[in-house]
Amino acid sequence: MNDFPFLSVLTAAPAVGGLVVALLPNSRPTLAKALSLGWSLVVLVGTITMYTAFKPGGDRFQFHESYRWIPSWDARLTFAVDGIALVMLLLIAVLVPVVMLASWHDTDGYGAKAGEDRHSAAPVGVVPARSASAYFSLLLFLESTMLGVFSAQDIFLFYVFFEIMLVPMYFLIGSYGGQRRQYAAVKFFLYSLVGGLFMLVAVIGLWVLGGHTFDWQKLVEADFTTGTERWLFLGFFIAFAIKAPFFPFHTWLPDAGGAAPAGSAALLVGVLDKVGTFGILRYCLPLFPNASRYFAPLALTLALVGVIYGALLAIGQNDLKRLVAYTSIAHFGFIGIGIFAFTTQSGTGAVLYMVNHGLATGLLFLVVGMLAARRGSAAVSDFGGAGKLVPVLAGVFLLAGLASLALPGTSPFVSEFLVLVGTFTVNKTVAVVATVGVVLAAGYVLWMIQRTTHGTVNPALAEVEGMKRDLSLREGIVVAPLIALILGLGVYPKPVLDVIDPAVRATLSDTGSTDPAPTHPAPTADAVSKESGK
């Protein structure tokens, strides 16, 4: 099974499908949607097959493929995944069909567009139907580039995917988004592009100083002087810190997340941004281990500020999508802490956090999208008492919120716990301050829930026609797999942890980090009882 060229095929497949869908006439929107959904489900099946073929205890990188590309630069089409990339691929493959189904009516056009009219209670204006084939083919193209960026094992190839990925997302936000979509799309594009420029400089520097190659393995073994390593690290780090985003590079995210259609926002924040934290793990740490350790205090500080800052700002938002975007800034802070604490638990927790955040925040964005589509507005103040009108949807909203605040029993708890417990063993202050962020998370989630679904019913809300429909069957199918994964992994995270853990340990050994031993290991006198307990 390992001989099948999974990665290249999976990367190319959605783009091929996207091409077919793009060529469909605009008069056949349902065909375009169905074809896209079906195709993304095929990709999901392929990805699951690959996931089961992956050997957790085997080689660090598996499904290795390498093809001739630009010989004069020693750039090759090299694909390979470790456990970290693998779980991200699975996340993408799961989220894309879910998002497609959630976006089913996004292009149909209706009375008012989500988030467009945030101050008046009644929907105004009519949004014309837009091309479904273009929208869904963009989603497929986006899936291709996202799969590619996590599968690439050649630095130039990674860079190419890193930049191309922006294009479909730019159009998704700019053409299909809500109010201020142009502004948000341009801002998103430019921020990422400038980050990309920093990376490009570093990539070129790496090529020049690292032996005229883009091969990851060779570059890991290359030696740099201390100063060079630090500069190259910064080039990559700034690109990734903008993408993730870390404080203070975050201001594009609320605009982009607030303006994007809910489904695209779920993909943007759930997956695309993870390229930033993934890039730090795959490129910054192994390529520049000394610089990574050198800059770790700075990175930890930025991440920690993000945790608190994002949470406080989330509390202050009046737009649900912007609110969720700010919560993500806080969550990215936790991921950053986990990475730069350099312990097995915190690193594994950070990667698991990347997966869980994709599921939980993806769900949250989609549910917010469902609410906003009904209301014709994503403003918190336009809701109030929605629980009486759409009880099931409000229940799902609560569940997504509880996952977002990392309640035990949901999968984000496992990752947050691992990040904090691992960080605590090396840096008590950071872990304790980050725990304050955990308290604040309860604040923004519960206040959001209270202001939207609790209390007396907002009279203007009760008159909106959309609020008379509770969760539909289609929406139920959208949320069900995400809820199942959130609860399932919350109780039994082992299948994912077993894949992540070896990859994180390999990454940490690249940086020469080891876990601190317990200061007073508990006596193992009861080892006998443990064995008999099995």
Partner 1 sequence: MGSNVHFAAATGWLSTFWLLIAIPLASAAALLLLGRRADRWGHWLGVTSVAASFGLAVSYFFALRGVDERSAELRLFDFIDVGGLKVDIGLLLDPLSVVFVLLVTGVGALIHAYAVGYMAHDPGRRRFFAYFNLFVAAMLLLVLGNNYVMLYVGWEGVGLASYLLIAFWYAKPAAATAGKKAFLMNRVGDAGFVIAIFLMFATLGSVNFDDVSNGVGALATGTATVLGLLLLLGACGKSGQFPLQTWLPDAMEGPTPVSALIHAATMVTAGVYLIARSHPIFDAAPDAQTAVICVGAATLLIGAIIGCAKDDIKRILAYSTVSQIGYMFLAVGLGGVAYALGLIHLLAHGFFKAGLFLGAGSVMHSMNDQTDIRRFGGLWKPMKITWVTTGLGYLALIGIPPLSGFFTKEPIIGAAFDHAGWLGAVVGGAALLGAGLTAFYMTRLFVLTFHGPRRWTPDVGQPHESPPVMTVPLIALALGSLAAGALMMTSVVDWLTPVFGEHAESSEHWLITGATMAVTLTGVGLALVLFRKGTETEEQPAGILVTAARRNLYADAVNETIFEMPGKYLTRALVFLDNRGIDGLVNGLAAAVGGGSGRLRRLQTGYVRSYAMSILAGAVLVVVAMLAVTLG
Per the CB < 8 A criterion, the answer to whether 373 and 320 are in contact is no
33 vs 321, beta carbon nearer partner 1: 321
| Shortest Å, Cβ 187 to partner 1 | 6
Closer to partner 1 by CB, 41 or 487: give it.
487
Specify the residue, 212 or 428, whose C-beta has the smaller distance to partner 1.
Answer: 428
Query: From the list 25, 38, 58, 316, which residue makes contact with partner 1 (rule: CB under 8 A)?
Result: 316
Residue whose CB is less far from partner 1, 110 or 231: 231
Quote the least distance from Cβ 34 to partner 1, whole Å. Answer: 29
Q: CB 202: neighbour CB atoms within 10 A?
A: 25
Chain center to CA of 496: 16
Q: Residue 134 or residue 431: which is nearer to partner 1 going by CB? A: 431
Interface of this chain with partner 1, residues 40 to 59, rule: CB under 8 A: none
CA distance 138 to 149: 16
421 binds partner 1 (CB under 8 A): yes
Contact residue for partner 1 among 55, 484, 491, 512 (CB under 8 A): 491
Binding of partner 1 at residue 220 (CB under 8 A)?
no
How many residues sit close enough to partner 1 to count as binding (CB under 8 A)? 88
Nearest approach, Cβ of residue 348 and partner 1 (Å):
5
CA distances from 437 to 315, 432, 434 (A): 12, 9, 5
DSSP for 451-487, written as a single string: HHHSSSPPHHHHH-GGGG----HHHHHHHHHHHHHHH
- Residue whose C-alpha is closest to residue 384's, from 438, 297, 459: 459
| CB 56 to partner 1: min, Å | 12
Shortest distance in whole angstroms from residue 494 CB to partner 1 = 6
Contact (CB, 8 A) for 115 and 258: yes
Nearer to partner 1, 217 or 435 (CB): 435
Q: Which is nearer to partner 1, 316 or 459 (CB)?
A: 316
Cα 67 to Cα 46: distance, rounded to the nearest angstrom: 21
The amino acid occupying position 417 is: F
Nearest to 215 by CA among 170, 154, 260, 265: 154
For 285, the token pair is: 């740490």
47/51 Cα distance (integer angstroms):
6
Distances (CA, A) of 307 to 24, 311, 418, 447: 45, 6, 16, 18
Can you tell me which of 76, 262, 501, 511 binds partner 1, judged by CB under 8 A? Answer: 501
Q: Answer yes or no whether residue 385 interacts with partner 1 by CB under 8 A.
A: yes
Q: Let me know if 290 is exposed, middle or buried by CB neighbors in 10 A (0-12, 13-18, 19+).
A: middle
Window 223-282: residues binding partner 1 (CB under 8 A): 234, 238, 242, 248-249, 251
| Residue (333 or 349) nearer to partner 1, CB | 349
Report the nearest approach of partner 1 to the CB of residue 446 (Å).
5
Contact flag: residue 343 with partner 1 (CB under 8 A): yes
Binding flag, residue 418, partner 1 (CB under 8 A): yes
Stretch that binds partner 1, among 129-137, 276-284, 354-362, 446-454 (CB under 8 A): 446-454
Stretch 295-314 residues interacting with partner 1 (CB under 8 A) = 295, 298, 309, 312-313
The 3-state DSSP class for residue 77 equals: strand
Among 45, 70, 204, 432, binds partner 1 (CB under 8 A): 432
Q: CB of 523: closest distance to partner 1 in angstroms?
A: 5
Minimal distance in Å, beta carbon 501 to partner 1?
6
Question: Cis peptide before 168, with omega less than 30 degrees from 0?
Answer: no
* CA–CA gap between residue 117 and residue 94 (Å, rounded): 32
> Binding segment for partner 1 among 57-65, 91-99, 345-353, 365-373 (CB under 8 A)?
345-353
Q: Say how far apart CA 141 and CA 297 lie, in whole Å.
A: 38
String of contacts with partner 1 for each residue 176-215, x by CB under 8 A: ------xx--xx--xx-xxx-xx-----------------
CB closer to partner 1 out of 18 and 347? 347
* Binding mask of the shown chain, residues 83 to 122, with x at each position contacting partner 1 by CB under 8 A: ----------------------------------------
Tell me how far CA of residue 63 lies from CA of 13, 82, 507, 519, in angstroms: 17, 9, 18, 41
Closer Cβ to partner 1, 95 or 504, answer by number: 504
Q: Which residues contact 485 (CB under 8 A, 6 or more apart)?
A: 94, 359, 411
Q: Which of residues 124-153 bind partner 1 (CB under 8 A)?
A: none
**Residue 481 near partner 1 by CB under 8 A:** no
100 bridge partner residues: none
